[in-house]
Chains A and B, each alone.
Chain A
Amino acid sequence: MPAAIVTEHLTKDYRVGFWRPRPYRALDDLSLTVEPGEVFGFLGPNGAGKTTTLKLLMQLVFPTAGRAEILGRPVGDPAVKRRIGYLAEHPYFYDYLTAEELLGYFGGLFGYSGADRTRRVARLLDEVEIGAERRLQLRKFSKGMIQRVGLAQALINDPEVIFLDEPMSGLDPLGRRDVRALILRLREEGRTVFFSSHILADAEALCSRAAILAKGRLVASGSLSEMLAFQVRGWEAVVEQLPSESLPRLEATARRVQRIAEGRYSLEFPPEPPPEQVLPSLLSAGGRLVSVMPLRQTLEDFFVERVGSADWDRMGQ
């Protein structure tokens, strides 16, 4: 079975500047393999080149160098497009169509017709929880509703490989939860999902493997637990009803102590020793634990650490 997605030395330069266009390297020598059935997270801060990579895979832009394959065939092959789905970043669809008509139109392009098509459209709209609004023109849809329609249209052909560019963007917390559930269901069905995000929590909740991109370059890839093991920077606890005699001991162990209200404190500790060792003795004289939370690097921190803050001058070459 061929890999779901392969890129080899994929590189893209955009020409920037009106009078004297210079190449600007948005993606630099990306080599990746995604196996069938994986949920693969494509992570990176803003401007990392995630959208550029997805557009290259959809052949919306052509590579400056390198190549890409989906399901063992070159990208852009109509036979491949029958077997994939794609949701663009900040999608826009024809606002003169209703949600139903849009999905019907796209379904028609896959050759579905009649009752089969009607059934598919209805099932997908149910799945993304677009109710009676499906008969409204898309110009009347909110951003989050458009995003849901976008997810539905990406699944119209029961795709084997699904590309999602920031599928959670524009969704409320409930919507994000629904999308997570949807992605997990797709994985259970044995489909491959390749999604981009700059939110680490999304990736942690979903991915088997991930790649981290920064400034157009791959900085890390592999299983998430390996990549992020060293990432815990410490932990934070909130306690209340703390007797004042505990304070000196607190100040000795905690990295930071901040009083929120009478007897209520926010505390920050280094990674070692772990909270399960520190907290019992701390609260022995009384007090109630409100919350404990690991403090983690953001993706931004991770990338600064790995890439170094020294900017390579990519504009120059």
Chain B
Amino acid sequence: MLATILRIGVNVFRESVRDKVLYNLVFFALLLIGASLLISQLSAGQEVKIIKDLGLASISMFGLFIAVFIGIGLVSKEVERRSIYALLSKPITRAQLIVGKYLGLVLTLAVNVGIMTVALYLVLAWMNWQTSPAVRETWEAPALDPALLKAIALLFVQLMVVTAIAVVFSTFSSAILSAALTFGLYVVGHFNADLRNFENVLDSRVAAWTARALYYVLPNLAPLDVKTMVVHGQYVSPAYVAVTTAHALTYIAALLVLATWIFSRRDFK
């Protein structure tokens, strides 16, 4: 059972590793992280902060591209090209197919985020070595701050949510529509918390309930973004990381149940 899911996942990983798109994305991400070194030279005293900002933004942006562009094709490509016929005639369930595909892309993302993280730390290490101890004293946070890993971990969880959204859409709609909808929800997900405030200013009960319902149904991505806090050396508690992660994982589980529910009822014609 679990073995089947893992085999499907490993095949997704193998597919993406052989995909040129992935290499292009990773290449540009590394280029951007490297270029941050040059850009930071333009702002005296802020170098480390700029490198961190740009590095985390690159990881977030390119991770998003990978999650969306591979995620939307995960299931829909199998259906459109009809490779799903042979796959589903093997002893697997449609639920295993969905979960396996999802985990495969999460694995791909983990490896890529890992590579980008190493690149970021290398640039920061170079910066650290170049700078005199006196200047280092003035930094809000050390260059090789381990707290960066907290931000990256939560970023990764955010990408896991986006991937699950892409998988849901790709079980019933075409790749282009799925991409648009996933990007749409990604943006909405960053403002979702505002719905909570909105609720308080609404007079109508119906409107207030709608706002509340949307708050629970739509993804809530903003809490998973602690880039700014970490860059400015503010403390992010492990408890916060754990709770937001647990919350996101619950949301992901619900999305995968939904994807399976839709997918299990589909005709492949």
Binding site for B on A (CB under 8 A): 14, 55, 58-62, 78-79, 81-82, 84-88, 90-94, 96-97, 101, 105-106, 108-111, 150, 153
Contacts and interface: CB of A to CB of B under 8 A. Distances in A.
B262 to A, nearest CB: 14
Interface string B181-197: 00000000000000000
B90 interface: yes
Given A59-B88, A79-B91, 16 more contacts: A61-B269, A78-B92, A81-B91, A81-B92, A88-B82, A92-B82, A93-B83, A94-B11, A96-B15, A96-B19, A105-B11, A109-B4, A109-B7, A109-B92, A110-B90, A150-B86
Given A96-B14, A105-B11, A108-B7, A81 B89 contact: yes
A94 B8 CA distance: 13
21 contacts: A55-B269, A58-B88, A59-B88, A61-B267, A78-B91, A82-B91, A86-B85, A88-B85, A88-B86, A90-B82, A91-B85, A92-B81, A92-B83, A94-B15, A96-B14, A97-B14, A105-B7, A109-B8, A109-B91, A150-B86, A153-B86
A106 B90 contact: yes
A62 B267 contact: yes
Given A14-B269, A93-B83, A86 B15 contact: no
Contacts, number: 70
B83 A60 contact: no
A85 B89 contact: yes
Nearest to B6: A108
A88 B85 CA distance: 7
B3 interface: yes
B10 to A, nearest CB: 9
Interface of B: 3-4, 7-8, 11, 14-15, 18-19, 81-86, 88-93, 265, 267-269
A12 to B, nearest CB: 9
Contact of A60 (B88, B90, B265): B88
Most buried by B among A101, A108, A153: A108
A206 B84 CA distance: 29
Contacts of B7: 105, 108-109
A153 B89 CA distance: 11
Contacts of A94: 11, 15, 83
B103 to A, nearest CB: 15
Query: What 7 pairs across the A-B complex have the smallest Cβ distances?
Result: A86-B89, A88-B85, A61-B267, A81-B91, A109-B90, A60-B268, A96-B18
Given A14-B269, A96-B14, A111-B3, A58 B89 contact: yes
A44 B217 CA distance: 50
A150 B269 CA distance: 19
Contacts of A78: 91-93
B86 A91 contact: yes
Contacts of A92: 81-83
B85 A60 contact: yes
Contacts of A106: 86, 90
A109 B11 CA distance: 11
Nearest to A81: B91
A102 to B, nearest CB: 9
Nearest to B268: A60
B54 to A, nearest CB: 33
Nearest to B15: A96
A7 B136 CA distance: 78
Contacts of A93: 83, 86
A220 B155 CA distance: 63
